[in-house]
Chains A and B, each alone.
Chain A
């Protein structure tokens, strides 16, 4: 390498300038994030400062309360994740059937699918959870809070996710079906062996996004009062001694961290799926 700075080609120079610009942008974003985070921490540090003769005090958190209740609140994380995993699994199955129904040429099946999606999307998730937990016992169906929550979340997300799966199935080209039919496959074999496996690949990244949203929507299940997930625990300890501020901040941090972690994996998955059309 005998090239000096002056002898570098124009393309190299432009490319390096572009890289520098991008790196500078990323660095500045990171610094800003840290500043914002520090500011937030300072806001809750309990220290005081003066501007002229006026004394200001930042918000004071009860450290002892947090230390005492941290593990109690934190143990709700597993319940939150459990609800979310179960619900997303059921939701995927429901969404797949709803999507197949939506693509069906048989009117009753098409109607059933669109009816389900319309009904669920037309009512609040909060109402659906309450319905499973409070309304169903009136007709003799008693569900534990956990399962009422899981069923409501599954039905709700299944309806919304049916659109993802419909897009996935539609993304599989007509030629794929024809090739499968030409080697003698039945319609069911074409679906099961050729179309759905490819549709699922297409649907994996958006399903990851739905799971991350579900993590937070699962907090609504706490209203049943019988599911000891993150939100329920935060509200319980907060109310008992009027430490709602500390308790909710704890829960918020846990939700946020979970979201960051799962988003990280989600992004990796998405990048991998985008790279290889395997």
Chain B
């Protein structure tokens, strides 16, 4: 299997705080990776470094052969980042839908503005993706008129409309009321089944167990442990992993 995304020797500092320490990670095509860890372990930062929403302090990000190096400057670097952002879709904890646009416009915005797609084609694409997340009938609503779970599904459709090769999910269900989490996870499961490459930062252990091909435990900016969920959950090797899983277990009960 060839890696579609390759993170090499990634370091990130916030001021003097060393958030990510020499992280290297290869993600294979169609692989679903769940990243779990305590808050402050650097898991969101890791995700945000991939599409350069955070500028890495050192290291390289490679997406389908495009290599962006930390600290590079200039037009070429900016174009590389832009190309990487086109290949990656991102879903945020707080949805970040554009409140001044309808659901449909949220989804057509990227294809029209960024890809210069003709409007009719963009609408067709948007409707197809809204249908994928089961929200076609809400296309004329505004974001403040739909539920949190629906917002997040629209956000997923917005990312999908850019036809990314890798989807990055940054705690997609953490801002949701418990009864709305299921509908978002269902959409994500469907995507995984369709063969989408996914990196998911999450606290949803059930999702990680059922859907992930690989689980990565992050602690203090290091990859503490990684492996298939069956192994990680039933036979954790590292103390941090054990503690983390124990805590989730007791929270679930």
Contacts and interface: CB of A to CB of B under 8 A. Distances in A.
B112 to A, nearest CB: 10
B109 A197 contact: no
A176 B175 CA distance: 16
Given A175-B94, A178-B53, A178-B92, A184 B114 contact: yes
A109 interface: no
Closest 5 CB pairs of A and B: A179-B96, A183-B110, A175-B96, A182-B90, A184-B114
B158 interface: yes
Interface residues of A, number: 21
Contacts of A224: none
Interface of A: 173, 175-176, 178-186, 189, 193-194, 197-198, 201, 276-278
Interface of A is mostly: helix
Interface of B: 51, 53, 82, 85-86, 88-90, 92, 94, 96-100, 109-110, 113-115, 142, 144, 155, 158-159, 162
A276 B144 contact: yes
Which one of B86, B90, B98, B159 has the greatest number of beta carbons of chain A within 10 Å? B98
A182 B51 contact: yes
A194 B90 CA distance: 17
B85 A182 contact: yes
Given A189-B114, A276-B144, A278-B142, A182 B89 contact: yes
Which one of B89, B92, B113, B114 has the greatest number of beta carbons of chain A within 10 Å? B113
A171 B245 CA distance: 39
A181 B54 CA distance: 11
Contacts of B158: 179, 183
Contacts of B51: 182
Contacts of B159: 182-183
Nearest to A176: B96
Given A197-B100, A198-B100, A184 B144 contact: no
